[in-house]
């Protein structure tokens, strides 16, 4: 059966009627702190919530005890086509709590904005995805295709316990993937994302009592030179704009480098003999690689060693924190289903673009396992301040997003 405008109207009206419930679930999710590595409580809460939506196979899948991923399935009449939709519920820490003007776990609503850590990155899509399928079911509509819902942990560290695990175990073996992005205005859909590598450089010194500090080699002071050179590399990397391709379609990529962790060790009355400097390097698909980005850092360390015989350091790739760079094949069926749904709700047709600016995300795991299958990243939460103070999303964005996902599921998966 084709989607009639009556069915469409019915579904969209049901979503309008669910507005308070959508917002309430969003607030509850934000009120549970869930830093990466501490997702047990939110996972247990969410699995019980998902059970209320009368889906199939609602369960927790975990690679590590206490690191839950909440999975569910909507079974269509034929199971074809199928799509995985997902969001991650782990978050970064709050940073300096005094800089938040609303409590980071308050879920405060003011002027149409909902505030809290993780509300936009990336708890945002969870209520829209669940209420989209609820509206479809409540309208008496049966879909032909299947939807796999994956609400996962560990994304901020690379998704190795989250999306990578559920993909590798075969739980997301679907024709497509929708990464339900949260921040934008809904004018872009992403089909690619940067790779990510953390490089840790350990600078070694020689420890001595503070009283004999002139006989020591202060690793922190030696690291200052390294930090200065890395900062120069950062200028260069951040200005990189290189094109990469999906088929004939060209996308402009952005390189990224940031020095994010610096630690010096021994104790307060000793010269430090170790200082670690860790960088977060986001690299452009097809243009840069794990090898090329590591070589740039190694070259800096090698040069410093030549210049200063006292400079001693080694570079490590930090395991379990990397993201595979991802580029999707462009599938007109997926793209058009989304464009049609978004233009109905927002009056704009989203353009194909890079997925998360200079960022990375764990749809790369799907792309790595199923390189010939298409994914798209899309959301219109109109949120902001992700990874900083006063993170927010918008009530209107939540409702619009719910409507777009509902139409998208019907357009893509077909009505039985």
Q: Tokens for 125? A: 């899509």
Quick check: 8 binds Zn ion (CB under 5 A)? no
Nearer to Zn ion, 293 or 360 (CB): 360
Nearer to Zn ion, 85 or 120 (CB): 120
Span interacting with Zn ion, options 34-42, 104-112, 116-124, 272-280, rule CB under 5 A: 116-124
Strand partners, 254: 241
State the nearest-atom distance from the C-beta of 117 to Zn ion, in Å: 10
State the nearest-atom distance from the C-beta of 361 to Zn ion, in Å: 8
Could you give the 3-state DSSP secondary structure of residue 34? coil
Span interacting with Zn ion, options 70-78, 114-122, 204-212, 375-383, rule CB under 5 A: 114-122
Helices 19-31 and 40-51 pack at an angle, to 10 degrees, of 160
* Cβ partners under 8 Å of residue 90, min gap 6: 34, 35, 36, 37, 38, 39, 118, 152, 153, 154, 155, 156, 157, 162
Nearer to Zn ion, 261 or 295 (CB): 261
Span interacting with Zn ion, options 120-128, 131-139, 283-291, 389-397, rule CB under 5 A: 120-128
Nearer to Zn ion, 366 or 409 (CB): 366
User: Which residue has tokens 């050179």?
Assistant: 229
Q: Are the C-beta atoms of 322 and 158 separated by less than 8 Å?
A: yes
Span interacting with Zn ion, options 59-67, 118-126, 210-218, 278-286, rule CB under 5 A: 118-126
Nearer to Zn ion, 73 or 363 (CB): 363
Number of residues that bind Zn ion (CB under 5 A): 1
Q: Are the C-beta atoms of 256 and 358 separated by less than 8 Å?
A: yes
Q: Are the C-beta atoms of 255 and 358 separated by less than 8 Å?
A: yes
User: Which residue has tokens 């840069």?
Assistant: 288
State the Cα–Cα distance between residues 10 and 58, nearest whole angstrom: 27
Nearer to Zn ion, 121 or 331 (CB): 121
Nearer to Zn ion, 121 or 312 (CB): 121
* Cβ partners under 8 Å of residue 238, min gap 6: 254, 255, 256, 257
Interface pick for Zn ion out of 39, 90, 121, 175 (rule CB under 5 A):
121
Residue of minimal CB distance from Zn ion?
121
State the nearest-atom distance from the C-beta of 92 to Zn ion, in Å: 6
Q: Are the C-beta atoms of 262 and 227 separated by less than 8 Å?
A: yes
Residues forming the site for Zn ion (CB under 5 A)? 121
């Amino acid at each position: 059966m084709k989607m009639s405008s009556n069915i469409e109207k019915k579904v969209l009206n049901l979503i309008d009627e669910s507005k308070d419930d959508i917002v309430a679930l969003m607030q509850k999710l934000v009120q549970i702190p869930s830093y990466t590595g501490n997702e047990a409580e939110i996972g247990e809460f969410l699995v019980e919530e998902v059970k209320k939506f009368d889906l199939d196979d609602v369960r927790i899948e975990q690679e590590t005890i206490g690191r839950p991923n909440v999975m569910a399935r909507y079974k269509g009449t034929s199971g074809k086509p199928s799509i995985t939709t997902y969001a991650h519920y782990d978050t970064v820490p709050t940073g300096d709590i005094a800089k938040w003007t609303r409590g980071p776990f308050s879920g405060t609503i003011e002027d149409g904005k909902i505030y809290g850590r993780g509300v936009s990155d990336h708890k945002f899509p969870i209520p829209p995805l669940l209420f989209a399928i609820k509206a479809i079911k409540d309208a008496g509509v049966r879909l032909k295709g299947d939807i796999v819902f994956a609400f996962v942990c560990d994304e901020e560290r690379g998704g190795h316990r989250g999306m990578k695990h559920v993909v590798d175990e075969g739980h997301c073996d679907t024709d497509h993937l929708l990464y339900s992005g949260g921040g934008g205005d809904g004018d872009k859909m992403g089909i690619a994302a940067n790779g990510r590598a953390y490089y840790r450089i350990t600078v070694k010194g020689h420890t001595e009592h503070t009283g004999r500090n002139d006989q020591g080699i202060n690793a922190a002071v030696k690291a200052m030179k390294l930090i200065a050179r890395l900062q120069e590399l950062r200028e260069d990397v951040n200005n990189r704009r290189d094109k990469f391709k999906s088929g004939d379609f060209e996308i402009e990529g952005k390189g990224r480098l940031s020095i994010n962790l610096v630690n010096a060790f021994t104790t307060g009355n000793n010269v430090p003999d170790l200082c670690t400097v860790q960088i977060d390097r986001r690299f452009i698909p097809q243009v840069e690689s794990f090898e090329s980005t590591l070589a740039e850092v190694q070259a800096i360390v090698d040069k410093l060693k030549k210049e200063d015989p006292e400079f001693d350091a080694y570079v490590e790739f930090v395991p379990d924190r990397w993201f595979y760079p991802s580029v999707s094949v462009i599938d007109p069926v997926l793209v058009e289903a989304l464009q049609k749904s978004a233009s109905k709700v927002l009056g704009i047709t989203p353009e194909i673009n890079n997925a998360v600016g200079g960022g990375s995300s764990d749809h790369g795991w799907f792309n790595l396992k199923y390189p010939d299958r298409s994914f798209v990243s899309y959301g219109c939460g109109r949120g902001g301040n992700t990874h900083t103070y006063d993170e927010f999303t918008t009530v209107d964005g939540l409702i619009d997003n719910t409507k777009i996902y509902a139409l998208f599921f019907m357009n893509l998966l077909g009505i039985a």
